[in-house]
Amino acid sequence: MHKADSPRSLPTPFRFFLLLLTGLLLTGCSEGPWNNPYRASESGRSIVYSSFSERPKHLDPARAYSSNEYGFIAQIYEPPLQYHFLKRPYQLVPLAATGLPRVTYLDESGRPLPDDAPVEQIAFSDYEIRLRPGMRYQPHPALARDGEGRYRYHRLDRAVIDRLNTLQDLPATGTREVVADDFVYQIKRIAFPPLNSPIAGVMQEYIVGFGDFAERTGAAYQALKRKQGGKPWLDLRDYELSGVKVLDRYRLRIRLKGKYPQFRYWLAMPFFAPMPWEAERFYHQPGMERRNISLDWYPIGSGPFMLGENNPNLRMVLEANPNYHGEAYPEDGDPGDAEAGLLRDAGKRMPFIEKAVYSLEKESIPYWNKFLQGYYDTSGISSDSFDQAVQFSDQGDLALTDAMQAKGISLQTAVTASVYYMGFNMLDPVVGGESERARLLRRAISIAMDFEEYIAIFNNGRGVAAQGPIPPGIFGNEEGREGINPYVYDLVDGRPRRKPLEEARRLLAEAGYPGGRDRTTGKPLILYYDTTSAGPDGKARLNWIRKQFAKLGIQLVIRASDYNRFQEKMRKGTGQIFMWGWNADYPDPENFLFLLYGPNGKVEHGGENAANYSNPEFDRLFVAMKNMEDGPRRLEIIRRMVRILRRDAPWVWGFFPKSFALYHAWYRNVKPNLMANNTLKYRRVDPRLRDDLRRQWNPPIVWPILLGLLLLVVSAIPAVRVYLRREGSSAR
Amino acid sequence: MMAYIVRRVLYAIPILIGVNVLTFLLFFVVNSPDDMARMHLGMKRVTPEAIQTWKQERGYDRPLLYNDAAEGVGRLTDTIFFQKSLKLFQFDFGSSDSGRDIGYDISQRMWPSLAIAIPVLLVGLLVNITYALLIAFFRATYIDFWSVVLLVAMMSISGLFYIIGGQYLVSKLLHLVPISGYDTGWAAAKFLVLPVVIGVVGGVGAGTRWYRTLFLEEIDKDYVRTARAKGLSEPRVLFRHVLRNALIPILTGVVVVLPLLFMGSLITESFFGIPGLGSYTIDAINSQDFAIVRAMVFLGSVLYILGLLLTDISYTLVDPRVRLS
């Protein structure tokens, strides 16, 4: 036999295809559906399946700030507080702490003041936090010790480090109890300049000694860096942060300048979760970062889950933390929660799942199809799939389509704590400023910009037209007459109705632009809209906006640029009209009203007030309101502030988006909570039901493929006949 | 031949410097180091101090191309361009702007790209050449006519349509393979079938037409007539003689793309959730990570030059008349 004919010496490509074919056949022989993207060993297990579309940039709690990052680290790290899972309006409850912080107000000389002391007298606020004893960190190599009690991996050889690919290459792990020092250490990390914590600026305003600490440690770090090169480890324990003190093993005190009640919301964010110094010591060994082993990649927490697999190019897996101290599912909720089955697990120890698998899914179409096949437990609704999922009844009510209902899919909606608005640059000579003329022009545009139509066309009805800057569900948002913007809406039958266009035209004429022309010069009024959405999707949106202005005879010029240029225009104040949004950090009106606070002006102060709005009365009220506890006095001040804003109209108030979430019948304990990020521990799945439905929904259908092959064979018959005839014919 | 290869390698250096300068200029015309810092630090509560620290940490606080404040050679070397480009020539890609080692990421992500690209190339070649030879065999018959119609139609359809249509038909309707995803080891096979099939089918139109043209050019030449006159069967004429002589243009097309297989496919990887180098580049562009963009463009250029060199060498292997000098 010729060597080439031997099956042993098949060329590599053929061997590959044989193996591929074998793999496929084996896949086909497995029990579950053929299109199951998960491993067969995961069948029947209590696992949540979800996805992510973008690699989280940071998993370090001092640096992470975006929602996709919180999706992971909020399950791993435990700050002192958290939001109650079920109760609305949002309520803070203890997490790593045993109770809410005890706040003591002090005067300039450090003497305690009563709780109702006037804000002007309060020089400092002390937040005393008592921690839950017995919390332990997840198993981690940074905490592994040898027989003599020394840290096993804190002085690794460079050669060992150079061989590391993942953290799992270091087999030994250890743990220890979470103590107050760890919380203090983390606050120091927030202040440490090389870490670039996004909240360092805010905290510097409030935490006593924060700026001084940052300055000292920043200088010490630079000196060390000059000496050692690379990114050396500076032991922050050696530097005192005067405003943050360990009182004992389980108690710490944070001293703030003045009164800042919103600080308690920050305590519910992972920024304030404990961090063992050992982790920093471990990750700062030379060569670790080069092997991509860092705190930004491998977190170390005490929460219900730990990151078992971190391959953000493919999959991230959260596994139950074996050292988790345990927490009971809430025993009370809002009215209706018990009927909705949300209290069935009341008092039971969480978490209810063993792990959560997040797969990389960049495109919405595959994600949606996999959700329908049962391979993801929950899904949002993209514009492409909206009609397939949701329908409006004749009465305008929202309902799932029959196809969704047949699959047992449920829908949850909630107005998010976010706002999208159209801003006017108040520094602009035409639309900005405090003149009556500019104010009337802005009000006319506010009426013409029909955001109800915008929501219907571009958001599939997923949003609520805004009457002011504060979204529903946040203190200060009101219903009824006080909740209506009287400059844009009329109250008709208890509901807001947008004023007619004639009113906008009248205001425009009063502003000196009858029919959209300047009364003095006769020239048409041309305004400029700065945007980043110049693609095909954005075109319809931009045309619609242009049309709204055209209703008043105003010519709108679209100035499209990339996001960098757009931001630059905003920073320099060269934009005129723009659209932007804000997601709340915490459920407090201050977090929305500060977007219009003068000293936050973007051009002058680099703040978040992109409209550069400045009104002394509003600013004065803001200062008074921001440090107040919720109550009638605060509400009254907010009302006055909102009235000023409505009158001045620095924004067209835009809309508050509504989130729509679909979930399968096997996915339990779902209630939208737009503030809490650590909700994975509450979830429960029924894996048996999921497996049954997946099998039912995904039977492999082979006959079309066989039919196709058959057709190919049949269609080849004439060709074969021609071939045989040709081969059999004599030469011509 | 050795002298030729050395000369080509030396030619590559100014080309790579040019590519580097162009990438640098194009990137920094659109993005300033401040923009990059803002993108990496997030959208909220970014202070000027944080931007300065970020730039300082990553060496973006220097001037772009010329440093007025420095003296002597330092005017050119103490710049972002020089500091960030020099090590590329040692194939030290350094760290991404988010702090990860680029070389390590490339070494991890090239395998999924290759896992799709190699089967698509090999199966595609096999299918296209076989189909083209078949059409050449049945030239000027209804098979030839309708095949060309089909191929032109297939060429005219967007690659995205094949992907979405393939996912819809094979995964959504027939439930035969997962719609998207990836796994390690042999578990990856079930995720690769669909992208490979779609890659092959999507390339049949253009590939087969091109090879058909090559074969038809050869098929009327004297040596083919001679072969037939000797009484060789038509398949033998086609496979032994026509195919061999048409190999040079086929090789030109194939060998030049071989090194580029590492770079992955942008759309396919994105739609199928394959963690290859194609999606790595796209992600870097979206997140304004200059370090990765620069490394990938450099790598692409090196591989392209390598491809051209390999093509030249392969000429000598398939055609003894060609000598490199």
- What does the domain layout of chain A look like in residue ranges? 3-33+702-731, 79-287, 423-659
Report pLDDT digits (tens) over B168-227: 999 999 999 999 999 888 889 999 999 999 999 999 999 999 999 999 999 889 999 999
| A731: pLDDT strictly greater than 60 | no
Give the C-alpha separation, B55 to B39, whole Å: 12
Q: Which is it for strands A526-531 and A577-583: parallel, antiparallel or unpaired?
A: parallel
A13 touches chain B (CB under 8 A): yes
Who among B143, B179, B275 is closest to A35 (CB)? Answer: B179
Contact flag A193-B172 (C-beta cutoff 8 Å): no
Contact flag A20-B54 (C-beta cutoff 8 Å): no
Contact in structure between A172 and A152 (CB atoms under 8 Å): yes
Residue A13 has what pLDDT? 46
Chain B stretch 63-92, residues whose beta carbon is closer than 8 A to a beta carbon of chain A: none
A91 touches chain B (CB under 8 A): no
Asked if residue B325 is part of any domain, the answer here is no
Helix (H) or strand (E) holding A685: strand A684-685
Terminal Cα-to-Cα distance of chain B (whole angstroms): 6
> Is B257 found in the same domain as B126?
yes
> Is B142 found in the same domain as B218?
yes
A726 touches chain B (CB under 8 A): yes
Asked if residue B100 is part of any domain, the answer here is no
Look over chain B and give the mean of its residue pLDDT values, rounded to a whole number.
Answer: 87
> Is B231 found in the same domain as B150?
yes
DSSP of A636-654: HHHHHHHHHHHHH-SEEEE
The helix, strand and coil proportions of chain B, stated in percent and rounded to the nearest 5, come to 75, 0, 25
Chain B stretch 200-229, residues whose beta carbon is closer than 8 A to a beta carbon of chain A: none
A201 touches chain B (CB under 8 A): yes
> Is B135 found in the same domain as B257?
yes
Global ipTM: 0.82
Residues of chain A with C-beta less than 8 angstroms from the C-beta of B279 = 313, 362
**Bridge partners (DSSP) listed for residue A378:** A663
Chain A stretch 338-377, residues whose beta carbon is closer than 8 A to a beta carbon of chain B: 359-363, 365-366, 369-370, 373, 375
Q: Which amino acid appears at position B24 of this protein? A: F
Of the segments A75-84, A189-198, B30-39, which one has the largest average pLDDT value? A75-84
CATH number for the domain formed by residue range(s) A423-659: 3.10.105.10
> Is B183 found in the same domain as B62?
no
pTM: 0.86
Asked if residue B103 is part of any domain, the answer here is no
Backbone angles phi, psi at A102, to 5 degrees: -90, 120
Residues of chain A with C-beta less than 8 angstroms from the C-beta of B183 = 39, 314
Residues of chain A with C-beta less than 8 angstroms from the C-beta of B38 = 564, 567
| A204: pLDDT strictly greater than 90 | yes
Asked if residue B104 is part of any domain, the answer here is no
Report pLDDT digits (tens) over A574-630: 999 999 999 998 999 999 999 999 999 999 988 899 999 999 999 999 999 998 889
Q: Identify the domain containing residue B260 by its residue range.
A: 111-318
**CATH topology match: A79-287 vs A423-659:** no
Report pLDDT digits (tens) over A447-499: 999 999 999 999 888 999 999 999 998 999 998 888 999 999 999 988 899 99
Smallest CA–CA distance from A727 into chain B, residue:
B233
Give the C-alpha separation, A444 to A511, whole Å: 9
| A4: pLDDT strictly greater than 60 | no
- Which residues have CB under 8 Å from A662's CB, separation 6+? A371, A378, A379, A380, A381, A389, A400, A404, A409, A410, A411
> Is B115 found in the same domain as B85?
no
pLDDT band, very low/low/confident/very high, at A9 (cuts 50, 70, 90): very low
> Is B175 found in the same domain as B297?
yes
Contact flag B275-A194 (C-beta cutoff 8 Å): no
> Is B200 found in the same domain as B254?
yes
CA-CA-CA-CA torsion for A7, A9, A11, A12, nearest 10 degrees?
Answer: 100
- Return the number of CB contacts < 8 Å for A and B: 173
Contact flag B30-A294 (C-beta cutoff 8 Å): no
- Which residues have CB under 8 Å from A209's CB, separation 6+? A240, A241, A242, A243, A244
Q: How far is B132 from chain A (nearest CA, A)?
A: 14
Who among A201, A294, A701 is closest to B99 (CB)? Answer: A294
Residue A418 has what pLDDT? 93
Domain count, chain B: 2
Contact flag A362-B273 (C-beta cutoff 8 Å): yes
Smallest CA–CA distance from B181 into chain A, residue:
A37
Give the C-alpha separation, A66 to A270, whole Å: 11
Contact flag B35-A564 (C-beta cutoff 8 Å): yes
Smallest CA–CA distance from B180 into chain A, residue:
A366
Question: Helix (H) and strand (E) counts for chain A?
Answer: 22, 27
Residues of chain B with C-beta less than 8 angstroms from the C-beta of A379 = none
What mean pLDDT is predicted for residues B100-122? Answer: 90
Asked if residue B228 is part of any domain, the answer here is yes
Looking at domain A79-287, which of 3.40.50.1220, 3.90.76.10, 1.10.760.10, 3.40.50.1970 is its CATH number? 3.90.76.10
Asked if residue B231 is part of any domain, the answer here is yes
